[in-house]
Amino acid sequence: MRDAAVAKSIAFKTDMQDQTGGILWSPTVRGFMHSDFYLVMRTFPDRSPNVRPGRAFSHVLILKKSDIDFIEDIGVLINLLPNTINKDVKLEPLHLDLNVNAALEPDNIDFLGRFNKVVHGYFNDDKFNNTIVWVGEDGFELCLIKLWKILHKGDRSRLNFGINFNVDSIPIDHVNLINVPESIENKFFNKGFCVVRKNEEFVLAGLSEQVLAGEAIAKQRIENFKKAVGLKHISKEDLSRISIIIKTFENINTVKDIKKVNTLSHVVAEYSPNSANSLQIKSVILERICLLLLDASVQELPVIRNFKIDSFEGSREKILMSLDVWLSNNLFSISQSQKNNYSILFQYLESKYSKNWWAIWIKGKVIEFLNKNDGKVALVLLNWINFEPSLLNELKDFIPKEREVESNLLENISSNLSASSLNVLRLFALEFSFYKLYAKILSFQMSNEEVVEELLKLDVGQESNQALDVVVAGMKPLQLVLLALKIGDKRLILLAGSICISHPSFLATIDFSNQYWQEIWLVSLQKGLSIKESFRQPKKKVYELFDAVVSGVFVIEELLVFIGNSDFGNLLDYSNRSKLLNVLPSGIVEKYLSRTSSALLNTLSVNSSFSVPNDIKLAKYIEYHALDVFLYHNSQKIKVVLPIFWTFQNIREKVISDYIFFYSGHLSIIDAKQIGRLVYERGYSTAAEIISNKSNKRSNWRFALQECQSLISFINRSLHAFSGTLKNIEVSKNDWWDSAEDIVVELYSSIQSVITLWRKSGGNEADLFTTGTTSDAWSFLFKKLKTGPYKNVSMGDLLEAIRKDYGTNQKFRLVYELRKKFI
């Protein structure tokens, strides 16, 4: 060696610096890497007389680092080392025959037990601080030779072997095979080293260790795998990996653990990445994977997501076929999704898995399923959420915002779902505007009244109203009406009003001072309920409302309008009529005046004895509005009009004059005499002239003229006198009797009144015909009375009894005054 510095460094390195005084040791082999050279040496205790005690002498073989891996048998090197100290030996290069192996002593059982532990220590060097401690000199060189043969080539240059006396001097960044005297072995215990003591009997359990140890069966198992995947050389790490999957490889057709098969597939793909290679084993693995997938648990299924599809020909399509079956039988099954929690699958729908073929496909299938819009989908979705409520937030982006989806969920949702599931579904329903579903969920969590109050907060139009209908359908009708009265929301008012149409009895407790009650009743009326159908005593209830108005209670104008447009707008019988008319809004009061005046005029027209109320506002309305209308509709019915003319003293002459002028209908003698007398008593000369113009010998107007002739001009009186119009004017007997019957029927229009009058006249009830109408009863009596007294009652008796009741009635007075000519 020409580099003195390196030579000096090597010389120094080969010294025994860590000897322990008093410990005897024999010549020993040592080896380690120094700089770019690997040193193999035999070291002797140097006891020469001229050498200081404790010094050592070494014969050293120096190898280049690049050559070390070519040395398959380190025993060849050891055999080159002298067995004794020879300080005169020359430094010279040695030539090795690498094909020659050192002769080894036969393995004995004791040695094999110890060497097994060396193999164990080497294979698990990371667990033992890279250090194997061989106790005692016996067998150390043989152990070294055998270990060298199983070292992976990268580890040979790292091997540090030889005697050692000091624990702290062991370089743990190497692979260390340390030989220690038995006397100091305790120093190496509990240091994390693999200590191989004398008489150690260690049994190798792991395949990797068995292969390293050279066991034939183990080596054959590895060879079978190497052949299947086309491997030639394997590292210690490869051996470790293969040993993990070897059993699965050997039992591939019976293994039921899909995780193990998947692990095997990864190892095979690593060693045989090309899909065109190792076809036989890959085909078997793929077939097994697809079969096991069909019955895999949800926890097992995701292991396939990283299957090396590029290394297995046709694997993607085949695996997806099995996955499709699995999804149908499990994830998308109503019964299975009810029993099993599949939420673990949905984490693979997240964006971080967006490039994984398996996750992309699963996600697509889930989206496809959720878009089917049927009851099964809804039920399965609810099952998923019941196991993992937070899942809905991940899935909602894939759920269509369609009414059909809401309907399916509505049909299948159940109160049996967990509280947390219902809570997330409630928020989901709100977000998707599924208000019917929202209402249904609320009904599981609170009372109907509380549900309604929550729904009313939405105020989002027709959809929320439909949701309200869902809840209302489960409420008792009266319960809803009471809730409407409590809350007063317009939607509830509408529903309550509709309910009262089919349950009008609810209106029996109506409080007109409560505006919500008013609104409910108004809705009922607007939707078809009549006022008569609203109450058992409708007039009494309406009058209660009128009393409320009079007392100052606010009543909805639309309700007042509705009543004003009905028959109940007639205030004739209402005791506080005048006050009510004074407080009704100006736009409404006319409706009531119209109804009331019309009723009054109609009543008076058929019952001239009717007592007209003393009401200034009503009287003015009749005079300036209602009368014209009444006369227009009765322009040819003077018998109907006459009681009106007689009753209202302030009717203008022009009104009566125009009516007479345009009248062309039938005029009875009694009616003619009435109109003539009316004109005369009121001094209406214009009207008298019109009568004069309409009178002739053949017209009954002459009877009217007879009554008011003093009001016409002298010339017209003279003309009528000359023409004979006013001569021989007589009322016939039949006319008188007909008029008498008309006025009696008018004044006594009920059977009870007929009975009462007949008794007053001196008769008995038994005399009467009471099985028909009032007109039939009077017709029967008048037929009898025309021929004389009937049952001791004469026509005179009857007229006297009537006079006591209606002596001031103008029509009756006229009939009564003419009685002596006909009875």
Radius of gyration of the chain (CA): 63
Cα–Cα dist 498/492, whole Å: 10
544: CB partners within 8 A, 6+ apart: 512
Given a cut of 50, the residues of the chain with pLDDT beneath it are none
* Alpha-carbon gap, residue 67 to 803, rounded angstroms: 158
Residue 574 backbone phi and psi in degrees, to 5: -85, 125
Helix axes 795-806, 751-760, angle to 10 degrees: 110
Cα four-point dihedral sign 236, 241, 247, 251: negative
Tokens of 588: 């409404």
Tell which residue, 713, 645, 729, 657, has the closest CA to residue 686: 657
Dmax over CA atoms of the chain, in Å, equals: 202
- pLDDT value at residue 485: 94
Q: Which of 44, 106, 104, 58 is nearest to 79 (CA)?
A: 104
Helix axes 315-329, 279-294, angle to 10 degrees: 10
Residue 793 DSSP label: B
pLDDT (0 to 100) of residue 543: 97
- Other CB atoms closer than 10 Å to residue 113's CB: what's the count? 15
User: Cα(654)–Cα(671) distance, rounded to whole angstroms?
Assistant: 19
Q: What is the pLDDT of residue 683?
A: 94
Helices (H), 448-511: 448-456, 462-472, 477-487, 490-502
3-state secondary structure of 757: helix
How many residues would you count in the chain? 823
List, in order, residues 6 or more apart from 380 with CB less than 8 Å away: 331, 332, 333, 334, 337, 369
d(C-alpha 60, C-alpha 189), whole Å: 31
Q: Please, what is the angle between helix 448-456 and helix 490-502, to 10°?
A: 130
| Angle separating helix axes 586-606 and 638-647, nearest 10 degrees | 110
Q: Is 162 helix (H, G, I), strand (E, B) or coil?
A: strand
Nearest by Cα to 675 from 698, 697, 699, 612: 699
**How much of the chain is helix, strand and coil, in % rounded to 5?**
60, 5, 35
Contact 382, 375 (CB under 8 A): no
Phi, psi torsion values for 153, nearest 5 degrees: -55, -35
Q: Is 162 in contact with 30 (CB distance < 8 Å)?
A: yes
pLDDT at 32: 93
Q: What are the helix (H) ranges across 57-192?
A: 74-80, 109-123, 140-150, 153-156
Task: Tell me how far apart the alpha carbons of residues 697 and 688 are, in angstroms, rounded to a whole number.
Answer: 17
Check residue 614 and give its pLDDT.
Answer: 85
